[in-house]
Structure 1
Amino acid sequence: MRKLTYFVASTIDGFIATPERDDPTGHSAGFFLMEGDHFPGMFADYPDLLPTVAQEMFGVAGPNRAFDTVVEGRVSYEGGLKAGITNAYTHLRHIVFSTTLTSPDATVEVVGTDPAAKIRELKAEDGLGIWLVGGGTLAYSLRDEIDELIVKLHPSALGSGAPMFDGPFSPQAFTLVDLVRYESGVVILKYAKR
């Protein structure tokens, strides 16, 4: 059975985007470090996370290693649309969960039904892992389906913003199974669902 992995960048105070839901990688303050020793290390292990164009630029294009499917919510997907990108991950099956969006790209599947039911269906299929890229609202709705949580923790704090899990108070425990520390200050924390 395939696994659902929520692999997400976060600040030390648990935010994955600005309060306006903008992507902090493009923010002028640089909340997420886009340079440093964490880049080659992380993408050596997870080249599938790079947008297809970046894979080609960094010379890591090739067969998918960890993931063959990426899923995200409407707000996360619209961040790419604002930049004129309809599908950053053409090397992956790309699914967007939304009840209001229609896909501007034939290679992106928009699903308007229950996300958890669709994830269970995907898990039953043959293939590599399923990568949940964001956002926090979708991640919260899929918490029971998340098998693995990988947090790329950046040495910055926003004070407020879009949380990693955006929903009502409902504690859930994970077990830390791996930790990789980089000179850049970025730490990769890998958790398994308890």
Structure 2
Amino acid sequence: MSTQEFQNGELRDGFHFRGGHPALDLVATVTGRLKPAQRELLAGPDDLARWLVAAGFAGSPLAATPGDLERARALREAIHAIVDARLAGGEGTPADIDQINAAAAGTPAIPQIGEDGRVRLQGGASALLATLAGEAALLLGGDQASRIRRCEADGCAMLFLDTSRGGERRWCSMKRCGNKAKVAEFRKRRQGVGA
């Protein structure tokens, strides 16, 4: 796989995009959720601005404020809490739902067709976050909500939208976690044959 494919695929500007939906990719801006020490990838406003570009919400660099960063983190944690609760058989708390609804109630970015014929979102970080919150509300309150999964690989907490026909996808990425699991299973079977 070329560096260009990697940058346009699952890893862009240091952020993971394996969720199949921007709301789930936002949750991935905290790594190591299953470990004692987690890593915050949105450490400052500039990181949020970079993520918005890498996620495709902005076509060029933009400015983000500390307030934008705080709103992005609150939105991220509300999404995570609702998905986590649902995967455990429950529902999200009213506070988490209110957090997403409040963020989605902001003025969204304006879609515009660019000279290249592709849509671009026009607006600052606040508008882009309102658009992202709206997409999160549509995902979590829509038919696809039942297709949100957590990666089954040991130590991986990535969330993803299972768009497979049978709804039986197990890993956030076949290239990463799926391949590791298959190699481990192959080694296990091979050791069992020689024993």
Query: What TM-score, normalized by structure 2, do the two folds share?
Result: 0.28
Greater Rg, structure 1 or structure 2? 2
Q: By percentage of residues, which structure has more helix?
A: 2
Structure with bigger strand share is 1
Instruction: Report 1 or 2 for greater relative contact order, CA contacts < 8 Å, sequence distance ≥ 6.
Output: 1
